[in-house]
Chain A
């Protein structure tokens, strides 16, 4: 692994203050950017090839270029509503190095000709919101924010806006509604935020990590940055690894390294004597992969080819001690709880799925219910207003597909407990609880 770009020296005492950040060369990238034209800055971001680090993986430079030109009220919103289960990378970046994000936002705003910015941070991140607010105050006092930044013609106001606990607000249009003081319901697209976003104005929405990388790209040059990673997935990525691993945490890796290297090499793999049974490569919304997929390169395209996605870059490892039904249940309940309720398939489908899983677990189901459950997931996918419904249906669908045998055994075992079994033979315990007794 080359030197990390975002996590480098992240534990240096006082990095969250302007003084230390500047001592380490902070805001130099901004000075450099302001000495360039907007088009040049945009060009660097475009050739860097950086794709959004929040989940959808859309090219950042292209996103900025979609904004209409000209002197109209445009907005930059940093999506800091990091709520995807398994993801905690933005938390560490904001808490320990808030100025890097602010610098990145000023640069991105400059490239897009934007004068108003907000950081929408999830309500639960109190400490991080405080750190950001302090940093914004410092940056304002140092004239990095406000009118005519560093003597340029670029102006930017920036406010930290705290959410109040709703996963759906990580969806960009729901975030906009929430920021406008409404319930966080996703909007129909089109219109896309680049044309009609916050207060109906053109809006650029980027994830924390994406924006925090902007100073790095300006410093090293887009072309240099693009040399890192793979052709379709340039640069480095902070990966949150959690679940059944020995060293859970954030690891910055060059995109394209084998997944095994992250899960085993960096995070230490499952506890002694256990094996990886399944893993989410990109948060709980990604279809699950199995031990067979551990050598898939960790980048956007390879994971898509393997039938899943890189998502927010959060690996959740589940070893063979945990029944897949439990994982499915946690997943489904999460999405039921977080469904905003606006569109039918998601609102009703998540609810129904949980009820079926509960029946499977309590021994009131038959294998036919698995078919119904799989069909319900099919009925959700592609039919919803936003991606939340799909985000449950895809992993649940993949679990049924890949672990059907275990589901059926679970059903039988649960029925046996209820004396409803259809066969006399109890299924082997190992199949229910995994290989480890």
Chain B
């Protein structure tokens, strides 16, 4: 801390803080437009923050001058006032002052600063510039160039934060304007952040346009549940409708950014397609019924099926809902057949081993680590906001980034090393990497060949990781530890992590899993696993998702409980699930919209709450419990789902003993030893990482079976056919499909293929093709990508399962 004088006040402030920030410690506000520390180093462009510093003849920009001990600063002298008034007058020269019809009016820094620091007059009598406006910058963002004050925040975001380099300045001087290349729209995963960054009304949200004034609205803080990033948000609410989503800056979760899905998919809350009342299947069709009828129907059917019920729990389910459901299943329906993981069971010991606090990396660790290995995940699709964090780490803190994936990654240009392996060969790749890391660990050439990876690249990666430094984070996708060989893959992962000393309890090093579902971690910890009860407690093994499908197909299970899940569209094994749903007598579903599987097979449908209506907690992939708070009331007849589960339980004869949401949280905290004592109050607005609490020690110790000596199966040789890799893009979500302004982003099925493969098959970009595997086919259009590894193709689907596919022209 240093002490300095500002406007006559003695103030202490952190060393090296910029004056504008240091001044706040003395309750002095220095106005800024271009300064935004989140965007990187200050640029000093707007000149709004000029201050007088004794001993320096010229006025200095407070945004770029670090405070020094004994500095004497003035912000209220005539000279400073004159400079501030001058800058405001300059900025308003061409600003249209059309505040009455501007969305920003009332929450506009330009208004506030003009009022607070401007001279209140203008001597500019020349005609202002006028243009047709607003203009579309993208389907989501409107640009009003008259209002722009050229603070460059938006272009700095595009160039230095999201690094999409699509939004730039064109021309020079007073002619400078913000634009894109040759009329292309600015469409990128994080484009919406520029709306929030804009200090004037130049960039406005198309969907929010003219919807409300600041005095019409209320802000309600909660958490976005659309992906595992769990960004903190503020819902803008007017008349019980969510009209907008803003970032609620949390340095350890989202850094104050949102992806466009999180920012705009709130529209899904209010679409007509949404289910807002209970329904039962009657005469082959879903019909609206009363709650009493629906609960009675579900209760009777489940009671009949007692012992033969399977439950699938979707990723957006809260900890409380998941916890109550597993109680309903295990205590009320005598069934341990429940799963929240898409890709198969992991032995309990491995679950525990991967969850130990010593092995846990946090989101900020990604930014400050010496090295980060991104393994089998594409952050921008799987946990978008982490993509920005990784870029920030590389750009600002020199993080050495390595990417090991099957599909080319958007982070490749930022990585010191990028390595490809065959789709599905994650385990084989880890064995090869492990061999390269450990002297005498095996034949790297052979193992790499088995993974479809380049042995030299594997050795290079090992060398990079070994020499990078101690703080290392491995960010891996859940899909790596999924599938029939999930256990072997997890073991291989732990071995590599151990060879790199990632799991040794070092602060700043660790593993971070990107779960397939938003609350994947919380649901596992709440006991929504076939082989674990709350707190990874040992239970008698039940069926996992795939086994539940088989159980239903074979008639061993007669009822299915689908909590926020439609296995037909979300889970692998589409054909098996179609059969399972067809065969099941009872299909109880909690759903916000009727997707394919529910529309055809659900027998009872309870309306699901949207995330803006929910109360409860979810757990971030790094162990942070975060609190959802209802921003709006329930539409139609929707009810709190913890209460619906309790009602169903009552209908099957089980009293769960929850009368309020907080009671459900309390039960959860009692049941999960390492959550012990957690209350909603403690979680508060910023969340709590359970690993940082004393109760963390209650996590059961991991018992790992000795490493299997099995060699991972080699990736399938192509032999003229192509290996199939699948992925799920950020835009492949039901919320995107139903949100009017986001619909245009909902992906069309594209076959990504390497130029050489395309040439061999005589395919050209845009060609329509049929892709087939094991008698199943899907239609797709060809997208030739030069970065695609030869011999592999990628499709955004779970309709096909590899490993090999054939491609022919449609």
Contacts and interface: CB of A to CB of B under 8 A. Distances in A.
Direct contact of A and B (CB under 8 A): yes
Contacts of A340: 172-173
B91 interface: yes
Contacts of A347: 90, 150, 173-174, 176
Contacts of A339: 172-174
Contact of A343 (B42, B44, B59, B93): B44
Given A379-B83, A382-B59, A384-B47, A348 B174 contact: yes
Interface in A321-359: 336-345, 347-352, 355-356, 359
A338 B176 CA distance: 12
Looking at chain B's contact residues, the main secondary structure is: loop
Given A343-B47, A344-B46, A385-B47, A336 B173 contact: yes
Nearest to B159: A182
Q: Determine which residue in B47, B175, B176 has the highest number of CB atoms from chain A within 10 A of its CB, and name it.
A: B47
A372 B123 contact: yes
Nearest to B150: A341
B176 A341 contact: yes
Contacts of B89: 379
Interface string B57-94: 01101001000000000000000001100110111011
Interface in B137-161: 149-150, 152
B795 to A, nearest CB: 37
Interface in B85-138: 86-87, 89-91, 93-94, 123-124, 126
A389 to B, nearest CB: 10
Q: Determine which residue in A183, A341, A372 has the highest number of CB atoms from chain B within 10 A of its CB, and name it.
A: A341
Nearest to B152: A342
Q: Determine which residue in B45, B46, B50, B82 has the highest number of CB atoms from chain A within 10 A of its CB, and name it.
A: B45
Given A348-B91, A379-B86, A166 B47 contact: no
A382 B58 contact: yes
B87 A344 contact: yes
Contact of A355 (B61, B126, B172): B126
A1 interface: no
Given A345-B86, A379-B90, A351 B46 contact: no
Contacts of B124: 352
A37 interface: no
B10 to A, nearest CB: 26
Given A188-B64, A348-B94, A343 B46 contact: yes
B123 A344 contact: no
B46 A348 contact: no
A356 B127 CA distance: 11
B169 interface: yes
A379 B178 CA distance: 26
A357 to B, nearest CB: 11
Given A345-B90, A348-B90, A188 B174 contact: no
Looking at chain A's contact residues, the main secondary structure is: helix
A344 B169 CA distance: 15
A379 B82 contact: yes
Contacts of B197: none
B43 interface: yes
A383 interface: yes
Contacts of A337: 173
B90 A341 contact: no
Nearest to B168: A183
A341 B91 contact: no
Interface residues of B, number: 34
A101 B48 CA distance: 42
A385 B46 CA distance: 9
Contacts of B42: 188
Interface string A372-402: 1001000100111100000000000000000
Interface residues of A, number: 29
Interface in A244-293: none
Given A188-B42, A383-B59, A344 B172 contact: no
Q: Determine which residue in B64, B87, B91, B173 has the highest number of CB atoms from chain A within 10 A of its CB, and name it.
A: B173
Contacts of A359: 126
Contacts of B126: 352, 355-356, 359
Contacts of A343: 44-47
B100 to A, nearest CB: 24
Given A341-B150, A379-B90, A350 B173 contact: yes
Contacts of B149: 344
A313 to B, nearest CB: 25
Given A348-B174, A350-B174, A183 B86 contact: no
B174 A351 contact: yes
Q: Determine which residue in A344, A351, A382, A383 has the highest number of CB atoms from chain B within 10 A of its CB, and name it.
A: A344
Interface string B28-49: 0000000000000011111110
A351 B169 CA distance: 18
Contacts of A188: 42-44, 61, 64
Contacts of B64: 188
A383 B83 contact: yes
A26 B48 CA distance: 52
A175 B525 CA distance: 57
B95 to A, nearest CB: 10
A338 B173 contact: yes
Interface in A93-126: none
Q: Determine which residue in A338, A352, A356, A384 has the highest number of CB atoms from chain B within 10 A of its CB, and name it.
A: A352
Q: Determine which residue in B46, B149, B172 has the highest number of CB atoms from chain A within 10 A of its CB, and name it.
A: B172
A341 B171 CA distance: 9
Nearest to B33: A344
A203 B353 CA distance: 52
25 contacts: A183-B172, A337-B173, A338-B173, A339-B172, A341-B171, A343-B44, A343-B45, A343-B47, A344-B45, A344-B46, A344-B47, A344-B48, A344-B90, A345-B47, A347-B90, A347-B150, A347-B176, A348-B93, A348-B174, A352-B90, A355-B126, A375-B123, A379-B90, A382-B58, A383-B50
Q: What are the 3 A-B residue pairs with the smallest beta carbon separation, nearest first?
A: A379-B86, A348-B90, A341-B176
Given A344-B150, A345-B90, A383-B47, 20 more contacts: A166-B172, A183-B172, A188-B43, A188-B64, A339-B173, A339-B174, A341-B173, A341-B175, A343-B44, A343-B45, A344-B45, A344-B48, A345-B47, A347-B173, A347-B176, A352-B126, A359-B126, A379-B86, A382-B59, A385-B45
